[in-house]
Homo-oligomer: A and B are copies of this chain.
Amino acid sequence: MARFNNDYCRGAHPSILKALAETNTSSYAGYGLDEWCDRATAEIKGYLKDDSAQIHFLVGGTQTNYTFIDHALRPWESAISAEDGHINVHETGAVEHTGHKVETVTSDDARLTAAQIEAVVHEYETSTVKEHITKPKLVYLSLPNELGVVYSKAELEAIRSVCDEHGLYLYVDGARLMYALGSPACDISLSDLAHLTDAFYIGGTKCGALFGEALVITNPALDDCFRASIKQNGGLLAKGWLLGLQFATLFNDGLYLELGKHADEQAMRIRHAFERVGVELYADSSTNQQFVIVNDQQQALLAEHHIFELEKCLDNGMTVIRFCTSWGTEDADIDALLKDIARLA
């Protein structure tokens, strides 16, 4: 049975395994102060076109999110997130554990808008009892978002503009950034992100690495002592070159972008197959996660030969299920899946 349930169920791209094997007996300085981290930084900076950006390599996504948010916010400040933002629903209250409220905004498709953010800030700014409420200071969003949807550049620019007007930080969770960048629907580049955000991270774990996330901090004020925050939050890997080596490999010759494109194309084959048989899409995703609405019979049929994720039971008895492709999804697996989807007709 092929696993389509997530994009982190297999090891790493072969070139990473190769690099690991080749360097296994070399010795390096610890904690990310090594030549591989330098090289990965240089490779990534080539895409950012922002010399002042600082890049830090952490181990996982939850760790990166709460470490950065805790570092950026003062105790009385809060983060704004879509209600189904990852920090609000899948990270065991890690942001609150560091002392900060997550102010949530409800949305149909897991997307935050500039207007919603403005409304939250407006409520704070017009309050006559500001000291009784938390101060919204950071906007958290994912690219693509939790439903695989890609923000447009215009949408991000509008959000940036609200942030500028009200002194908010914009932070983008890029756990699956590769799959956004690989989508034809995405008009945002790494360089755009560097210019539009105060910080964002480039996912490794779900994008071809064994593990690892590259946090890009473009607001220098937020970089001060950030390595201390990484260490304090348990994210400073002793053998830090393992992170550098993986990102140097992923960004060498544009592999990262290529892998994203591959996965998205495989995902679109799945999407179109569902569309062909009239299965309703739950979200308009152009990236590696496809959410579709099926009945019990359809679900059972698909479950015979394929592993996918149960997302949500709807009130009408239907179920939302998720299929993920990844950098490593092979044609044969997709072919087999498509055959079964065709049987749903």
Q: Which residues of B sit under 8 angstroms from A10, Cβ to Cβ?
A: 24-28
User: A92-B134, A131-B231 known; A28 and B9 CB under 8 Å?
Assistant: yes
Chain B residues positioned under 8 Å from A194 (CB to CB): none
CA distance A172 to B99 in the complex (A): 23
Closest residue of B by beta carbon distance from A326: B27
Given A27-B9, A131-B31, A131-B228, A239 and B17 contact (CB-CB distance below 8 Å): no
Interface majority SS (helix, strand, loop, mixed), chain A: loop
| A 1-49 contacts with B by CB, 8 A | 3, 6, 8-12, 14, 17, 20-21, 23-31
Interface residues of A in 90-135 (CB under 8 A from B): 90-94, 96-102, 129-135
Q: Is A285 an interface residue (CB 8 A)?
A: no
Asked whether any CB of chain B lies closer than 8 Å to the CB of A78, the reply is yes
Q: How far is the CB of A116 from chain B (nearest CB, A)?
A: 16
Tell whether A233 is near chain B: CB-to-CB under 8 Å. yes
Instruction: Known contacts A31-B131, A98-B99, A231-B62; decide if A74 and B225 are in contact (CB<8 Å).
Output: yes
Interchain CB contact (< 8 A) of A225 among B76, B90, B132, B229: B76
A210: CB under 8 A from chain B? yes
Whether B237 pairs with A134 at a CB distance below 8 angstroms is no
Does A184 have its Cβ within 8 Å of any Cβ on chain B? no
A227 & B131 in contact (Cβ 8 Å cutoff):
yes
CB–CB B206/A132 < 8 A: no
**Residue A200, interface by CB 8 Å:** no
A93-B100, A97-B75, A131-B231 in contact; A239/B14 too (CB < 8 A)? no
Q: Chain B residues with Cβ under 8 A from A132's Cβ?
A: 90-92, 231
B232 close to A75 (CB less than 8 A): yes
Assess the B11–A228 pair: CB atoms within 8 A.
no
Q: Which residues of chain B come closer than 8 Å to A223, judged between CB atoms? A: none
Set of chain B residues within 8 Å of A74, measured between Cβ atoms: 71, 225
The docked-state distance in angstroms from the alpha carbon of A234 to that of B91 is 8
A288 within 8 A of B: no
Q: Which of B12, B206, B238 contacts A206, CB < 8 Å?
A: B238
Name the distance in Å between A58's Cβ and chain B's nearest Cβ.
8
- Asked if A11 and B29 make an inter-chain contact with CB atoms under 8 angstroms apart, the answer reads no
- In the assembled complex, 9 residue pairs joining A and B whose CB atoms fall closer than 8 Å, in A order, are A60-B237, A62-B234, A67-B234, A70-B75, A76-B232, A91-B132, A92-B133, A130-B227, A210-B239
Known: A20-B20, A93-B133, A134-B228. 7 other contacts (CB 8 A): A31-B129, A76-B232, A92-B232, A93-B100, A96-B99, A205-B239, A210-B242
